[in-house]
Chain A
Amino acid sequence: MIRFAAVLLLATSALASAEAYEYPYDNPYAATVLGTPDSVKADVPEKIPLKVRKLPRFEGRQIPDALWYGAQLDYSYAKQKGPAPLIFVIAGTGAAHNSEKNQFLMRAFYEAGFHVVGITSPTYPTFVIAASTTMVPGEQRGDAADIYNVMEKIWAEIGPGMEVTSFNLTGYSLGGTNAAFVALLDEERKVFNFRRVLLLNPSVNIYNSISKLDRYLENIPGGVDNFNKFFRKIVDQIGSVYKKSTNVSFSPDLVFEAFKDNPPRDEELAALIGVSFRLSSSALVFTSDVMTNYGFIKPANVVLTRNTALEDYAQVSLRVGFTDYFHEYAWPYFQKTSTAKTREEFATLQSLTSIQDYLISARKIGVVDNRDDIILVPGEIDFLTNTFDTRAKIFPVGGHLGNLEQRETAAYIVDYFK
């Protein structure tokens, strides 16, 4: 109810841009942050018999003490009783197999009769520790091979008890981009022979997306040095609502209530999006650095124990953006082995444009996106419609995945696999 009220107030300027498609926010930042309000949400069961399992340890991998908890990669799955098609769902940047969006997709597919398997993003710290060959995520062909290996290992564990009629694949955000490269690899490896593949709000060119996401942080008033002030302001805003309210507990509803009283400006929403991605990137960058012992943030000759205070490293990691990671860490690492001669070439290889011919010819692959997706740059939606043609479904509004749980969106996604 609180959510609904918040939505109504925030949506005062919303326009219905398409007749059949009901989504309240025409502001892509609000859409990205607030997601789908209950009133237009797809009717999907709250619970499915989802099981979480751990994969065996990565052979021969030494795990530093400070990262002890990440020795084994988790995955989740839910099995239908009889024969059914199976779908792998790859999570987005910094997200695990059971992220909220992955869970939503798994619930929707399970309800529609699929076996479902949730896969953690190669950018999630535990994947870096326990499943990445290079321990330096971001290089798409290598990440795809790692994901493929993970899928094979999962299949070896759960396959014997399952009757599968076909294998399918999807993923959201960076997971959508991953899915395209995994589908390409599957043409060669032919373990799964995917029947259908759907990319949900993929990053078209990863370098373009990370540049945009890094820049969102510039929306913090006074720049990153004033992050604390910005953080306190958000907390105060939430706090003022909390103090006034009689019945609200300290929960996500509180955030909606705070927005209702004092709708954030676009810049603040953009800054929030920047901060949330920076939390992911800081975890990824530091984890990768500790694993490779490159000396990027942690001095190479310092050995962290399980109890080492990490605050200083956290402060620095929060200052290092995705683009810093790309230029100063990933490119130097891959320079030796990549076919790319320059940094620009290397960046271009990490994009769907580099496999456009395949994407045009592979009739099984489709895409769902929004015209106002905030991780894309001008021209990239056109790239998607030109490449996928009738297999591209572009919604008018929804920001980056804000409309994932919306009725028409969810129905289109599930129907694509039928």
Chain B
Amino acid sequence: MKHPTTAASFLMLVVLFSAGCSTAPSKESGQPPDDPYYERGRMMIDDTDAPLEINDPWEGFNRTIFRFNSYADRWVLNPAVSVYRFVFPGFVRTGVSNFFTNLDNLQTVINEILQLRPVPALHTTGRLIVNTTVGIGGLFDVATPIGIPQHYEDFGQTLGRYGVSDGPFLMLPLLGPSFVRDAAGRGVDSVIFSAIDPLQLDESDARTYTYWTLLILNARSTTSFQYYQTGSPFEYELVRLLWATKRQLEVEK
């Protein structure tokens, strides 16, 4: 599986077939629901606008993926990250993280150009050049100490900047929260990446496997979020709200 899309679509299929997707609660035979002590209609004015309301027509599916991701974390990714942290000392992991941040700048600069934003694009180009050369292929971050700012842009943000709305909320297998626009954006970003193929992954299987292994380990090890650690029964709702807020800010930036 050389291409990420193959792996992702395979997973998506597995999950789809193993998922019950209804968000409706099951009720005891045929009765209407009882009135709870506190009922929504009595507690809230109808037109109160509430921050938790986010467009999520596929919530049943999304919740299934949310759970799937927590299992993937528990049984595969977290143990793998533990091994990664045990085997590689901190400075090596920092190098790996720097390497991928530098590589991401390729995607960032492309999207900055697509968004017609010359100044950030210059920053990012500067970072790419300095860190790839002086920083030995991106392993060292030389650009930050000399004051070149780090940005982050993706094709989802580019679409957002041109007025494409985020669309329905979508939990992606392994990748976590997203929106339809941003998921499509990811697809475009990865097609562009494969077309440029800056690491010439096409030429070596060994290189491809190493790349993907390190990419996944680095991504998981630099993300502090852990599923079901808030303790809240509304964790899914909270994650959805915070993610929507984060993306809104990133697009506006």
Collect the chain A residues with CB atoms within 8 Å of residue B44's CB: 225, 315-316, 319
Segment at the A interface, from B7-15, B60-68, B185-193, B195-203: B60-68
A264–B56 Cα distance when bound, in Å, is 33
Report Cα–Cα, A243/B249, bound state, in Å: 8
Specify which of A295, A304, A306 is in contact with B37 (CB 8 Å cutoff). A295
Question: Across the two chains, which residue of chain A brings its CB closest to B250?
Answer: A250
| Cα–Cα distance between A82 and B148 once the two chains are bound (Å) | 50
B74 to chain A, nearest CB (A): 10
- The answer to whether B237 and A314 have CB atoms under 8 Å apart is yes
B94 to A: closest C-beta gap in Å: 16
Q: Is the CB of B25 within 8 A of A305?
A: yes
Contacting residues of chain B (8-50) with chain A, CB-CB under 8 angstroms: 20-28, 31, 33-40, 43-45, 48-50
- Bound complex: CA A247 to CA B250 (Å): 13
Assess A302 versus B52: contact at CB under 8 Å? Given A125-B231, A239-B249.
no
* Contact A303 to B48, CB < 8 A, known contacts A69-B70, A316-B38, A328-B37: no
Mark A323-342 against chain B: 1 for CB-CB distance below 8 A, else 0.
01000110000000000000
Compute the total of residue contacts between A and B using a CB distance below 8 Å.
143
Which chain A residues lie closer than 8 Å to B45 at the CB level?
Answer: 225
Q: Known contacts being A242-B249, A301-B27, is A316 close to B234, with CB within 8 Å?
A: no
Q: Mark B72-96, 1 if CB is under 8 A from A, else 0.
A: 0000000000000000000000000
Binary interface encoding of chain A residues 11-48 relative to chain B, with 1 for a CB under 8 A from any of its CBs, else 0: 00000000000000000000000000000000000000
| Chain A contacts with B in 232-281, Cβ cutoff 8 A | 232, 235, 238-239, 242-243, 246-247, 250, 279
Alpha-carbon gap, A176 to B37, bound state (A): 32
Q: Is the interface of B mostly helix, strand, loop or mixed?
A: loop
Stretch binding the partner chain, chosen from A106-114, A198-206, A282-290? A282-290
A94 touches B249 (CB 8 A): no
Query: Once the chains bind, are B40 and A307 in contact (CB under 8 Å)?
Result: no
Q: Chain A at the B interface: mostly helix, strand, loop or mixed?
A: helix
Contacts of B53 in A (CB 8 A): 311
Residue on B with the closest CB to A67?
A: B233
Is residue B213 contacting chain A, with contact meaning CB distance below 8 A? no
Interfacial chain A residues near B28, Cβ < 8 Å: 301, 303
- Minimum Cβ distance to chain B for residue A232 (Å): 7
A299 at the interface (CB under 8 A from B): yes
Query: Which A residue sits closest to B54, measured CB to CB?
Result: A311
A417 contact set on B, CB distance < 8 A: none
Q: Within 8 Å CB of B27, what residues of A? A: 301-303
A151 within 8 A of B: no
* A308-B53 Cα distance, complex, nearest whole Å: 15
A310 in contact (CB, < 8 A): yes
Say whether A312 faces chain B, with CB atoms less than 8 Å apart.
Answer: yes
Least CB separation from A296: chain B residue: B37
Q: What residue in chain A is nearest B63 (Cβ atoms)?
A: A307
- A285 CB to nearest B CB, Å: 9
Given A69-B70, A250-B250, A307-B20: A299 and B234 interface contact (C-beta under 8 Å): no
Tally of contact residues, B, Cβ under 8 A: 56
Is A216 an interface residue, CB under 8 A from the partner? no
Q: Is A299 a contact partner of B52 (Cβ separation < 8 A)? A: no
Contact check: which of A301, A304, A319 meets B34 at CB < 8 Å? A301
Complex-state Cα separation, A307 to B248, whole angstroms: 26
Identify which of B67, B227, B233, B249 gathers the most chain A CB atoms within 10 Å of its CB.
B233
User: Within 8 Å of chain B (Cβ to Cβ): is A178?
Assistant: no
Whether A124 sits at the interface, judged by CB under 8 Å, is yes
CA distance A125 to B252 in the complex (A): 36
Question: Is B163 positioned at the interface, with any CB of A under 8 Å from its CB?
Answer: no
CB-nearest residue of chain A to B119: A246
Instruction: Please state if B25 and A315 are interface contacts (CB–CB under 8 Å).
Output: no
Q: Is the CB of B232 within 8 A of A279?
A: yes
* Residues of the B chain whose Cβ atoms lie less than 8 Å from the Cβ of A228: 48-51
What are the residues of chain A within 8 A of B25 when measuring CB–CB?
302-305, 308
Residues of the B chain whose Cβ atoms lie less than 8 Å from the Cβ of A238: 249
Contacts known (A295-B36, A297-B37, A299-B36); A310 close to B233, Cβ less than 8 A: yes
Is B236 part of the contact surface with A, judged by Cβ < 8 Å?
yes
A302-B25, A303-B28, A310-B233 are contacts. A319–B38 as well, Cβ < 8 Å? yes
Q: Does A63 contact B (CB under 8 A)?
A: no
Q: How far is the CB of B43 from chain A (nearest CB, A)?
A: 5
Contacting residues, chain B, for A315 (C-beta < 8 A): 40, 43-44, 50, 52
Contacts of B248 in A (CB 8 A): 239
Q: Considering the complex, give the chain B residue whose CB is closest to the CB of A309.
A: B23
With contacts A302-B33, A304-B25, A319-B44 taken as known, whether A297 is within 8 angstroms of B38 at the C-beta atoms is yes
Whether, in the assembled complex, B5 has its beta carbon less than 8 Å from a beta carbon of chain A, the answer is: no
Bound-complex Cα distance A246 to B149 (A)? 6
Residue B104 CB within 8 A of the other chain:
no
27 contacts between A and B (CB under 8 A): A96-B229, A125-B232, A225-B44, A227-B50, A227-B51, A228-B49, A228-B50, A232-B51, A235-B249, A242-B249, A246-B123, A246-B151, A250-B246, A279-B232, A283-B230, A283-B232, A286-B233, A297-B36, A299-B35, A300-B36, A306-B67, A307-B23, A307-B59, A307-B64, A309-B23, A311-B53, A324-B38
Which of A's residues lie within 8 Å of B, judged by CB? 66-67, 69-70, 94, 96, 124-126, 225, 227-228, 231-232, 235, 238-239, 242-243, 246-247, 250, 279, 282-283, 286-287, 290, 294-317, 319-320, 324, 328-329
- Residues in chain B within 8 A of chain A (CB atoms): 20-28, 31, 33-40, 43-45, 48-53, 56, 59-60, 63-64, 67, 70, 123, 144, 149-151, 227-234, 236-237, 245-246, 248-250, 252-253
